[in-house]
Amino acid sequence: MVNTQFADVVGGLLSLNTGPLSLNSTVSASTLTYIPVVHRYISLFNGTRYDAYDIGASGISLAFTLAANTQGEAYVRAVGSTPTLSVETGTTVVRVDGIPVKSGDPTRRHVGTVYGWTSANTIMWRPRADSATVGHPHLGIWNRYNQRQLVLEQNDTTDTWSYGTATWRPVRNAWRLEFVVDPLGETLVNGHMYVDCACVARTPISALSSLNNNTDGFGTVLRQGDSNGSSPGNGFQTCHAKYLRSWNGGFKTLYPLELSSAATSFYGDDGVNGVRSVAYASFLG
């Protein structure tokens, strides 16, 4: 058994620029950097023991190769006395002596997971989208160490929208939250969705909201919005759904869903009451 007494020395964070990624700004890049945020050192296994290696004041940069819509694992290993960053696909992360490493090569310490955007060799970081017309939230980096509370948020200020058939569909046929999480399945994801709803013909309706994962088939409705009014100012209630769970690791897509009939309208922001529809997910990464 390897002595791991000093193996918890990990002072860096994956980023797409020279500092920690903003929780409010969109960034896409083809260079991944492991930057110092707590200190400049990372403990790596050299085949015999764990030693601390200096990543430098600017960290370690990598012009990575990653196909579109592909998950990659980020590892740091020592080449001589120099720590080196790599992104590898098709690998498995395991714990050896409690330390997450590449399966079959404990010298490669796992520091995070990334996901290729729709263009090759590009990682996207978009925590927030303020309408369905400007895209959707997408976090293509998950950090194993020195984590922050990450939030994906989809807002919409559209006054109203309606559908002609009674079926579950993504809100406005567009909403979704995309993110990558721990490949070991140890990330707990918490989220809510609020959609303000009313009927158009002054007859009671039942409008349900759900959050669903397209891989695991998960969705839970905790509150049903019931309405008997023709606008948000006349007898509406908020449809509310929430979830809290840990998935198998990797890339996930959450679809906030709506169910409506031809007589149902959903209200995003009626321009009077400041109503706003929103879906969000939060987790450490």
- C-alpha 285, offset from chain centre: 8
Domains within the chain, CATH numbers bracketed: 12-123 (no CATH), 146-284 (2.60.120.40)
pTM metric for this prediction: 0.83
Q: What percent of the chain has pLDDT over 70?
A: 62
Q: Buried (b) or exposed (e) across 168-183, using 16+ Cβ within 10 A? A: eebbbebbbbbbbbbb
pLDDT value, residue 3: 63
Instruction: Measure the CA–CA gap between 104 and 84, rounded to whole angstroms.
Output: 18
CA distance 39 to 54: 9
Residue keyed to tokens 């809290």:
244
Tell me how far apart the alpha carbons of residues 260 and 199 are, in angstroms, rounded to a whole number: 10
% of the chain surpassing 90 pLDDT = 42
Q: For residues 168-189, give the mean pLDDT.
A: 79
pLDDT at position 205 is 29
Nearest to 156 by CA among 207, 199, 195, 209: 195
How do residues 42-89 score in pLDDT, each as one tens digit? 999 999 999 999 999 999 999 999 999 999 999 999 999 999 999 999
User: How many CB atoms lie under 10 A from the CB of residue 127?
Assistant: 20
Q: What is the mean pLDDT of residues 220-234?
A: 39
Average the pLDDT over 162-179 and give the result. Answer: 72
Please report the pLDDT score of residue 145 as a whole number.
96
Ramachandran area for residue 18 (φ above 0: left; ψ -120 to 50: alpha; else beta)? alpha
pLDDT at residue 202 tops 50: no
The residues, ordered by sequence, that sit 6+ positions from 59 with a Cβ below 8 Å of its Cβ are: 12, 15, 18, 33, 34, 35, 36
Phi then psi dihedrals of residue 171, to 5 deg: -50, 130
d(CA 171, CA 70): 26
CA dist 55 and 36 (Å) reads 7
pLDDT at 132: 59
Q: Give residue-wise pLDDT tens across range 132-150.
A: 566 788 999 999 999 999 8
The per-residue pLDDT for 236 is: 45
Question: Residue type for 32, please?
Answer: L
Q: How would residue 128 be classed by pLDDT, with cut points 50, 70 and 90? A: confident
Output the pLDDT for position 152: 86
Token pair in block for residue 277: 């529809």
**What's the pLDDT at 43?**
97
* 32, two tokens: 């991944």
